[in-house]
Amino acid sequence: MKRFSIIILFLLFVLILSSCVVKEITPENNYDDLELKIETDKNYIKVLQLTDVHLTYWYDSYDRKTINLIDDLLDKDINLIIITGDITLSIFEVFLINKFGKYIDSLNIPWTISWGNHDSYFSNRKKETEALLSENYKNIIFSKGSDLGPESGIGNFRIKTYLNNKLFFNFYLLDSNVIPEDKSLEYTSNYGYFSPRQVSWYQNLASKDLVSSMMVMHIPLYEYESGTIIKGEINEPVCYQGLDTGIFQVIKNETLTKYVIAGHDHTNDAIIEEDGIYLIYGKSTGYNGYGNTKKGVRYFLIYENYLATYTSDLTNKVMDYYETK
């Protein structure tokens, strides 16, 4: 029996290693702009936000519970799934990214991701991105983006969304990185932040936009703490980015970005307003993540001039419904 158990463990180890073999990132993955084209009789697009999925082993009971929750809360008419980081919390990061990617892709819904800080605790952004891009997923919308330097992460890009062949809305995905690297600077937290080059990249694109947009990240901006709560709850201190490099001022003064979404703080699911910009938390999805609030998801119905949003869990499918002005 003991010998049989050793053989099983060895085969499992080989399986995990074989699942972690990935290809190199190729130049054709280096795009600032990607497109999502939607044909519908509706006048809005429906977006599902998953955040802090925190997969650990894939086969354990909490991870199975997380996948079942997503299945149970999945609507039929979703146009895009956005994952705001922290897919994993595990030494098996690449293995889990591959597993989760195959699962999400099997839903046959376009999907995208903004990396979280825990996604790189035991690996690095390059390996994660290679794992993501090596599988040739049918429904993924992801680019490693322009090379903005090592301090700018990987995966800074824009998704231009067309509704019935008309440009309708833009999504800006930015990598909020992992931890502060430059020890000579005075940080406001121990978490990653947008580099000045990321801010300039966003400013250059977004200042020329003709339609509204949403900025997507994992670690929230400082304004999540300073703004006014208009819906939902703040149950823990806002763990905002480690350095303010001025992106909120750019959002407010120079762009048509009206909405910012993030994750990171598992027990917060509030909608916050600061200077006319809506700063919105997702609802923590993964059972292997901390927090005693109910796990769930957030939905967005994005119209031309406003959006409606609500959270959903296994008890209540529509909670804290809110329409922006």
Q: Using one digit for the tens of pLDDT, what is the confidence trace for 109-118? A: 999 999 998 8
pLDDT of residue 15: 44
Q: Looking at the whole model, is its pTM more than 0.75?
A: yes
Taking 90 as the threshold, does the pLDDT of residue 303 lie above it?
yes
Across the range 44-66, mean pLDDT stands at 97
CATH superfamily of 27-323: Metallo-dependent phosphatases (3.60.21.10)
Taking 60 as the threshold, does the pLDDT of residue 184 lie above it?
no
In sequence order, the β-bridge partners of residue 81 are: 48, 111
Lowest-confidence pick of 32-41, 115-124, 163-172: 115-124
* Encoded tokens for 142: 């992801």
Cα 29 to Cα 263: distance, rounded to the nearest angstrom? 26
pLDDT of residue 135: 82
pLDDT of residue 19: 41
Reported for 315-320, long-range contacts at CB under 8 A and 24+ positions apart, including other chains, are: 317/73, 320/231, 320/232, 320/269, 320/271
Residue whose C-alpha is closest to residue 67's, from 77, 79, 49, 55: 55
Across the range 207-224, mean pLDDT stands at 97
Cα 254 to Cα 157: distance, rounded to the nearest angstrom? 18
Under DSSP, the state recorded for 221 is: P
**Burial classification of residue 126, based on how many CB atoms lie within 10 Å of its CB (0-12 exposed, 13-18 middle, 19 or more buried):** middle
Across the range 115-130, mean pLDDT stands at 81
Taking 80 as the threshold, does the pLDDT of residue 20 lie above it?
no
- Of all residues in the chain, what percent carry a pLDDT higher than 90? 76
Q: How far apart are the first and last CA of the chain?
A: 66
One-character DSSP codes across 273-324: EETTEEEEE--B--TTSS-SSPPEEEEEEE-SS-EEEEEEESS-SSEEEEE-
Q: 64 or 117: which carries more pLDDT confidence?
A: 64
